[in-house]
Structure 1
Amino acid sequence: MFDLHRLRLLRELKHRGTLAAVAAALSYSPSAISQQLSQLEAEVGVALLEPVGRRVRLTEQAEILVAHTEAVLERLETAEADIAASLTDLTGTLRLASFQTAAFALIPTALTALRAAHPRLRTHVTQLEPKSALPALVARDFDLVIAEEFPGNPNPRPDGIEQEDLYEDALRLALPGAVAARLPGADASPEATLRVLAAHPWAMEPEGTAARHWAMTLCRNAGFEPDVRFESTDLLLHRRLVEQGHAVALLPDLVWSDGPPTVPLRELPPGHRTRRLFTAVRRGSSRHPAVAACREALRQAVARHGAAAGGGESGPLPSSAGEAAVEAAPSVL
């Protein structure tokens, strides 16, 4: 029988790409990782790694082993959830990753609910963009990820991940007061309003992000190339730039979770008005009590935000788990 620990190291190499990355994630030396994988090759009786320049890649036989290892780990994840569900007291550590606006607007309220319901559960929160957080979830760096999906820009669905809808967050055009006063009336089409802003400075997220792709598509569909002078993943900075009259921006309603909007807002064209927020976990772990408790706390936070906002286009989405991924650090999962 093959050694499960060594199989997991092979799986880590597939997901992390290099021996050095596996060693850093698991607090081993690269030579120790290499030695363990050499022993696994001897157990299996075939080559599992082949050199490519200064790196290595998995052979066809190694890919077969990793696929079976994923299935074994999924069953172990389910077993762990079943054991935890049999206990009356929820303890351990839940590792949560979230992008900025959800972390700002929802997580503090969710943490309050979790602390009240499960005082012995320790929650570790990392702010991380979905592009990095979802692969890290597959690699077992996190137990639950809050991610986003923009209109017309669906996310890849990595194998072994289960998604559950959380919130539909309205997206709006945010304008400095002086700029809004010079625009066509509120009855003008959203496309016409956007075109008037073609020469105005814009704040957007950096190139390569899903938000930037969506924003550029929106502007190009309106017939212009935006003058992007401010690039940051920090939407609170975007908000401040608009408040101070330096830029226009495309902001989600969650940015105003601390109070009413402080700048004029305009609607966007149909088909571009909301982003989808969802939670993601590894397949087999959704039944874990800590995951279920965190998702429930997040739903409570969404409900409180919706009540404070007084309705509008934003709102919670009905639960619907979809297919889309499990030990770098100890956790409840």
Structure 2
Amino acid sequence: MADWDIRKLQILRTLREQGTVTATAEALRMTPSAVSQQLTNLAKQLGVPLLEAQGRRVRLTDAARLVLRHAEAVFEQLERADAELAAYAHGEVGEVRVGAFSTAVPALVVPAVRALRATHPGVRVRVREAEAGEAYELLAAGDVDLALSLAAQAPTAADPRFTRVPLLADPLDVALPREHPLASADGLRLADLAEEDWIFGGSGPWSDITRGACEAAGFSPVQGHSAAGWTAILAMVEAGMGVALVPRMAAVGREGVAMREPAADRPHRHVVAAVRKGAGEGAAVGRVLEALREAAELQLSK
């Protein structure tokens, strides 16, 4: 196969447009001897004569015109590639793989994807639901480009592998049965529910968060039932089987459940995003992070 040199082909095309070696050299900011040398080398690489003398000038051979006819398709494709690369560099196109815990998907990731579709439709987001701790394992392994997790489950900010980006402090509400005596009481405190049966997972981040919030309020919660999914937890609350702490992001309205904001010592869970060190400088990843921040702000305003 012939050795097709793009730069030399561009010189040949410019010669066709300018008509003389001198004009070609001026257009390309080269010397006439450099132009001649490059075209001589190109002819050797392709194995065909490209120029022929015409008095004191040169003209393109039929072989040179054939070469340029095929080269135009190459130039056109390269222009498309340049345009796509420019769009990629400015965050207009690209694929970003996001690993996120379950409640973050509908509350943050989906609104971010919707916003990006309107503003940057070339940025494609692939979502993978993962437990909070697992999201960092996927990030470290290169299986996702961005991880959404809880700060309590995330590596420390000093971890050299990742850059952490705080997104929001998700407030925790108390879920009580609608008919509970304290469902409409003023100034409800967590300590007022110290004797209640509490519903939370037997282990994992939500168990730690619930126990930590109750202990900060001065009591150790009695675990009446164990459940990890919010649908199951809220169904049991609705049935009068106990009370629970529910993050604002996960709250789903149920007829028989009253959601109350604690009047004091209100707990939060902190949601963070993370990327591998240096990856946040990628334009498409930056677009997704920006959309997630905006979704977090909207979440806090609810």
Q: Same fold (TM over 0.5)?
A: yes
Cα distance in 1, alignment partners of residues 188 and 253 from structure 2: 30
Number of residue pairs matched by the alignment? 216
Percent identity reads: 25
Query: Any gaps of 5 or more consecutive residues in structure 1?
Result: 1-82, 310-333
Partner of 1:113: 115
Residues 275 and 84 (structure 1), Cα distance of their counterparts in 2 relative to 1, 3 Å cut: farther
SS in 1 for 2:143: coil
Residues 258 and 220 (structure 1), Cα distance of their counterparts in 2 relative to 1, 3 Å cut: closer
Please say if 1:102 is aligned against 2:101.
Answer: no
Query: Any gaps of 5 or more consecutive residues in structure 2?
Result: 1-84
Q: Is the 8 A contact 1:93 1:124 kept in 2?
A: yes
Report the AA paired with residue 211 of structure 2.
M
Residues 247 and 92 (structure 1), Cα distance of their counterparts in 2 relative to 1, 3 Å cut: same
TM-score (norm 1): 0.57
Cα distance in 1, alignment partners of residues 123 and 295 from structure 2: 18
Report the AA paired with residue 273 of structure 1.
P
Report the AA paired with residue 246 of structure 2.
L
Cα distance in 2, alignment partners of residues 166 and 298 from structure 1: 8
TM-score (norm 2): 0.62
Q: Is the 8 A contact 1:173 1:266 kept in 2?
A: yes
Cα distance in 1, alignment partners of residues 93 and 193 from structure 2: 51
Partner of 2:22: none
Pick the structure with greater CA Rg: 2
Please say if 1:186 is aligned against 2:186.
Answer: yes
SS in 1 for 2:240: coil
Residues 104 and 184 (structure 1), Cα distance of their counterparts in 2 relative to 1, 3 Å cut: closer
Cα distance in 2, alignment partners of residues 93 and 299 from structure 1: 18
SS in 1 for 2:258: coil
Give matches, 1:17-166, under 5 Å.
87-88=89-90, 90-150=92-152, 155-157=155-157, 158-166=159-167
Instruction: Give deviations 1:251-274, integer Å, cap 9, x for gaps.
Output: 11112377999523141752x611
Partner of 1:203: 199
Identify the match of residue 270 of structure 2 among 273, 276, 281. Answer: 276
SS in 1 for 2:298: helix
Report the AA paired with residue 128 of structure 1.
A
Cα distance in 1, alignment partners of residues 260 and 155 from structure 2: 27
Q: Shift in Å at residue 100 of structure 1?
A: 1.3
Residues 120 and 261 (structure 1), Cα distance of their counterparts in 2 relative to 1, 3 Å cut: farther
Partner of 2:230: 235
Q: Shift in Å at residue 115 of structure 1?
A: 1.3
Residues 111 and 206 (structure 1), Cα distance of their counterparts in 2 relative to 1, 3 Å cut: farther
Residues 299 and 262 (structure 1), Cα distance of their counterparts in 2 relative to 1, 3 Å cut: farther
SS in 2 for 1:134: helix
Partner of 1:254: 249
